[in-house]
Amino acid sequence: MTADSPHIQRLKQAGYRLTQARLTVLEVLESEHGHITSAAVLGKVEGINPAIGRASVFRTLDLFTQLGIIRPTYIDTSLTPTYVLMHGGHHHHVICTVCKRFYEFDDCGLEALTRNLEETLDMRISGHLLEFYGLCAACQKRSAAPA
Amino acid sequence: MTADSPHIQRLKQAGYRLTQARLTVLEVLESEHGHITSAAVLGKVEGINPAIGRASVFRTLDLFTQLGIIRPTYIDTSLTPTYVLMHGGHHHHVICTVCKRFYEFDDCGLEALTRNLEETLDMRISGHLLEFYGLCAACQKRSAAPA
DNA sequence: ATTTATGCAAAACTTTTGCATGGGA
DNA sequence: TCCCATGCAAAAGTTTTGCATAAAT
């Protein structure tokens, strides 16, 4: 399952062991195409392999975040962050602030800005997250309609 | 203090009362130019007016987030989110993933993409957050140097 | 005068440790 | 075989409620 995803390569290459906990968390993340809360990851992992402990799930989410595989964001105002998968170091989406539905998109046209910032700030940039906030068509109608 | 910031206008116009808790939290956020953790907000507010309770601070942070005045992000991997002030609905920064230092910038050139997405998705977009991740000059040297 | 928002303190959760043990390489 | 990573369970924190009271408008 998700045999040799680039994320697994990243883990190996960084010298980390391919453990059940890590592979299972990755499987869950990829099955959700990212956009999953820590609570949901916890639940799904337990469903797949109850022998995996909570602590390992959190340790894995931290590790993946450090490696740039995922990135935590606040989508619902709940207690728990939502993790998005970073493809090639970046991720872009539009979120409806009312119904929380989201739409991912690929082309962000930020290459020039990235190079520009690298030069200006003398930094090496490895990725980015771009989130747009707004109202989807359905929620626009709903908020326009009277009670 | 921060007499009639646009954020105060927003509060009024949305029909919310201008309470001590709300004004103090806003003062703290603006004094930090955004980029402040919930724990730090809590501490600063208590320093300014100990009569303001924790719950009100959290309620205020939630309200401001709903109104698009601030946006929670995960900058340090700690328990608590870091809030950034949204100016005119958007915010852009570059973070060094090692030392966590950040650099804000204004021009993102995303106007065209915004309009594009509004048409394509039939959404009304009100703002965005753009975060770049990378290594600052100092941390590049530090990681290149042997122990 | 109304009604929204607050403060308090306890409750509810999420995330983190410490340590002995198991499982990758 | 060696050492990293895990599981467990308790600890540490952060955030949220419920309700009587204060204070904006």
What are B30-77's pLDDT values in tens digits? 998 889 999 999 999 999 999 999 999 999 999 999 999 999 999 877
Those nucleotides of strand C lying less than 7 Å from any protein Cβ are 4-10, 13-18, 23-25
Provide the 10 A C-beta neighbour count for residue B115. 11
Residues in chain A: 147
Lowest mean pLDDT among A52-56, A81-85, B48-52, B142-146: B142-146
Residue B117 pLDDT grade (very low, low, confident, very high; cuts 50, 70, 90): very high
CB A2 within 8 A of CB A27: yes
Measured between beta carbons, the chain B residues lying within 8 angstroms of A126 are: 97, 133-135
Site from A73, A115, A133, A141 to mutate, B interface, most B CB atoms within 10 angstroms: A133
Residue A77 is nearest to which of B65, B127, B128, comparing CB atoms? B65
Of residues A94, A108, A122, nearest to B137 (C-beta)? A122
- pLDDT score for B2: 52
Residues with CB under 7 A from strand D: A 16-17, 19-22, 51-56, 59-60, 77-79; B 12, 17-20, 38-39, 42, 54-55, 58-59, 62, 79-81
CB contact under 8 A, A137 and B122: yes
Mean pLDDT calculated for residue range A82-111: 94
What radius of gyration do chain B's Cα atoms show?
Answer: 18
Tell me: pLDDT of A144 over 50. Answer: yes
Query: For residue B3, what pLDDT band results from cuts at 50, 70 and 90?
Result: low
Option in A71, A123, A136 nearest B135 (CB): A123
CB count, 10 Å around CB of B33?
A: 10
Residues B45, B50, B55: CA angle, nearest 5 degrees: 65
CA of A99 to C1' of D12 (A): 34
Residue to test with chain B: of A130, A135, A139, A143, most B Cβ within 10 A? A130
DSSP secondary-structure letter at A68? T
Q: What's this model's pTM, rounded to 2 decimal places?
A: 0.92
More reliable by pLDDT, A5 or A114? A114
Phi, psi (deg, nearest 5) at residue A126? -110, -10
Find tokens 């915010």 and name the residue: B91
**Degrees to nearest 5, angle at CA A33 with A27 and A38:** 70
